[in-house]
């Protein structure tokens, strides 16, 4: 029986095949004990009419090998194609996206030579649920879903990561000054879990100022944990400011399966030209080798790669007159790394991985007791485009509805209160959120909601969706309207 570890490999699109060839050549030359199950994913598969971009046999391969080394792919625009990356991350439960971002100064130019941060991005939730609806002529909706276990899992992962790799600080980034419930849950979960790690410093930054600080002072960050969309954006910012967009690798880690890739895309503008920097995928592959228990090979490759950078052998994206010694293509860069296998960098700190690094991290959910849930009202969303969109007209009509005391409380348009007593200056779309509650705040039943909807229909309105207003252990589980 072969002692080689079987992994799934996808060459991807654009520069994908070139950088994969270069990466595998380096892995093989370094003595990595690997066997490749090569699958096809991406553009060709999409164009066969498979909207996920992945054939069933590719899924079987991943189920078997549990490790995926993947080149970037091109997602065709429009036409209902789902992002293969998002589908893979979610279908296989790859909840943690780990993106180290380090400066390689002075060999690669950066204004921030001390940067050495790791972004740990939640990978399964948030706006990436891909649940979108057009509800009226004018209004489209994307659902942002944040769960307590999803938040707990990624935050625990971030703290365990910091502990394992001796990192000193974990910063949480959210926008909970606006999204008090969803982002608030993430921040609150962070504060709770932080108490279990007294040796690790913690702080929280609102994502906008957090992003600005990454662009201006990235060296103040160590580990950053954040929600899916923010993590997507800040990891590109962080990679760019350290001058290393073509260099960053990423790991997408789940309980069973893990996927390793470059952070960049398929770069169609330079595809097939032997110009691409294979370092991003190579760095992903180095993380993979640690993950599958071949840390000594990971270390050997990482050191040879750093020595190559130190020797000024640079691909076009990082080449700089006066700093670089030679501009090379993808193939020659890989050969230069291979020639340096066994050597250490002289100026940069050598990489060092050991068996401890290969141990899986212990992420166990503590969970939460169930709260008492009570239905106290309903938001009915209505598509209405009559009478000059006068909020007083829709408001007075809806005041006629009353289901066992469940009656109109207020109306908002795009979240701003417009009835009763709205401002005449507020711009109104054709999308109205009409909140119904009992006068004394007492509980209601589903039958009351159904009766109310029947009355709203009889009044001639097109209701497009409802959201129930619940309390949990008496605490309001919905936001107030702006101006309420």
Residue 183 engages ligand NAD in binding (rule: CB under 6 A) = no
Q: How many CB atoms lie within 10 A of CB 44?
A: 13
Report the distance separating Cα 114 and Cα 427, nearest Å.
Answer: 48
Nearer to ligand NAD, 74 or 115 (CB): 74
User: Shortest gap between Cβ of 314 and ligand NAD (angstroms)?
Assistant: 11
Report the distance separating Cα 200 and Cα 162, nearest Å.
Answer: 8
Interface characters, 227-246, with ligand NAD (x: CB under 6 A): ------------------xx
Report the distance separating Cα 407 and Cα 396, nearest Å.
Answer: 12
Residue 265 engages ligand NAD in binding (rule: CB under 6 A) = yes
Q: What angle do CA 226, 227, 233 make, to 5 degrees?
A: 85
Candidate segments 73-81, 96-104, 417-425, 430-438, binder of ligand NAD by CB under 6 A: 73-81
Candidate segments 97-105, 167-175, 263-271, 355-363, binder of ligand NAD by CB under 6 A: 263-271
Q: SS3 for 349?
A: coil
Candidate segments 120-128, 269-277, 440-448, 455-463, binder of ligand NAD by CB under 6 A: 269-277
Residue 261 engages ligand NAD in binding (rule: CB under 6 A) = yes
Nearer to ligand NAD, 13 or 383 (CB): 13
Q: Provide DSSP, 187-254.
A: HHHHHHHHTT-TTSEEEEEEHHHHHHHHHH-GGG-SEEEE-HHHHHHHHHHHHHHTT-TTT-EEEEE-
Q: Across-strand partners of 378?
A: 436, 468
Residue 285 engages ligand NAD in binding (rule: CB under 6 A) = no
**Window 80-139: residues binding ligand NAD (CB under 6 A):** 85
Among 8, 75, 88, 303, binds ligand NAD (CB under 6 A): 75
Q: Which two tokens stand for residue 173?
A: 């980034």
Q: Which two tokens stand for residue 40?
A: 């096809």
Nearer to ligand NAD, 76 or 184 (CB): 76
Among 62, 67, 73, 382, binds ligand NAD (CB under 6 A): 73
Q: SS3 for 120?
A: strand
User: Shortest gap between Cβ of 453 and ligand NAD (angstroms)?
Assistant: 41
Given a contact cutoff of 8 angstroms between Cβ atoms, the answer to whether 446 and 375 are in contact is yes
User: Shortest gap between Cβ of 77 and ligand NAD (angstroms)?
Assistant: 8
Chain-centre distance for alpha carbon 357: 24
Among 210, 280, 284, 395, binds ligand NAD (CB under 6 A): 280
Residue 72 engages ligand NAD in binding (rule: CB under 6 A) = yes
Among 96, 108, 259, 270, binds ligand NAD (CB under 6 A): 270
**Window 310-329: residues binding ligand NAD (CB under 6 A):** 317
Which among 150, 142, 114 has a CA at the least distance from the CA of 226? 150
CA count, 13 A, side-chain hemisphere, 466? 17
Residue 210 engages ligand NAD in binding (rule: CB under 6 A) = no
Q: Residue numbers of the site for ligand NAD (CB under 6 A)?
A: 15, 72-75, 85, 245-246, 261, 264-270, 276-277, 280, 317
């Amino acid at each position: 029986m072969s002692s080689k570890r079987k992994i799934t490999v996808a060459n991807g699109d654009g520069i994908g095949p070139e950088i994969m060839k270069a990466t595998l050549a380096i892995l093989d030359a370094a003595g990595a004990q690997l066997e490749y199950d090569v699958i096809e994913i991406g553009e060709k598969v999409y164009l066969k009419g498979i909207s996920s971009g992945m054939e069933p046999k590719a899924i079987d391969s991943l189920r078997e090998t549990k490790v995926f080394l993947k080149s970037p792919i091109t997602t065709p625009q429009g036409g209902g194609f789902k992002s293969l990356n998002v589908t893979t991350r979610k279908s296989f439960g790859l909840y943690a996206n780990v993106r180290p971002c380090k400066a390689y100064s002075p060999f690669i130019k950066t204004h921030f030579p001390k940067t050495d941060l790791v972004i740990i991005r939640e990978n399964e939730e948030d706006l990436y649920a891909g649940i979108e609806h057009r509800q009226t002529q004018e209004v489209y909706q994307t659902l942002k879903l944040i769960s307590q276990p999803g938040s707990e899992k990624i935050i625990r992962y971030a703290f365990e990561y910091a502990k394992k790799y001796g990192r000193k600080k974990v910063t949480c980034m959210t926008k909970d000054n606006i999204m008090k419930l969803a982002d608030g849950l993430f921040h609150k979960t962070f504060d709770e879990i932080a108490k279990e790690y007294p040796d690790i410093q913690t702080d929280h930054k609102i994502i906008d100022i957090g992003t600005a600080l990454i662009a201006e002072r990235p060296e103040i960050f160590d580990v950053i944990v954040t929600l899916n969309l923010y993590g997507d954006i800040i990891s590109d910012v962080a990679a760019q400011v350290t001058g290393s967009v073509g260099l960053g690798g990423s790991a997408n880690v789940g309980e069973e399966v893990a996927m390793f890739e470059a952070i960049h895309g398929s770069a169609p503008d330079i595809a097939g030209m032997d110009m691409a920097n294979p370092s991003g995928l190579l760095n992903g592959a180095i993380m993979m080798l640690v993950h599958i228990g071949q840390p000594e090979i990971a270390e050997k490759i990482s050191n040879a790669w750093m020595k190559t950078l130190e020797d000024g052998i640079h691909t076009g994206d990082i080449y700089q007159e006066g700093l670089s010694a030679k501009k090379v293509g993808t193939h020659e860069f890989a050969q230069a790394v291979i020639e340096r296998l066994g050597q250490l960098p002289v100026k940069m700190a050598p990489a060092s991985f050991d068996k401890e690094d290969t141990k899986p991290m212990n992420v166990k959910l503590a969970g939460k007791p169930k709260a008492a849930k009570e239905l106290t009202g309903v938001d009915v969303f209505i598509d209405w485009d009559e009478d000059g969109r006068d909020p007083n007209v829709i408001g007075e009509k809806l005041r006629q509805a009353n289901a066992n005391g469940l009656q109109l409380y207020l109306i908002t348009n795009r979240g701003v209160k417009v009835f009763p007593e709205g401002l005449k200056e507020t711009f109104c779309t054709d999308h109205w959120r009409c909140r119904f509650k009992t006068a004394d705040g007492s509980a209601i039943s589903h039958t009351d909601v159904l009766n109310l909807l029947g009355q709203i229909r009889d009044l001639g309105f097109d209701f497009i969706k409802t959201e129930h207003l619940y309390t949990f252990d008496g605490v309001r589980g919905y936001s107030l309207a702006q101006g309420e």
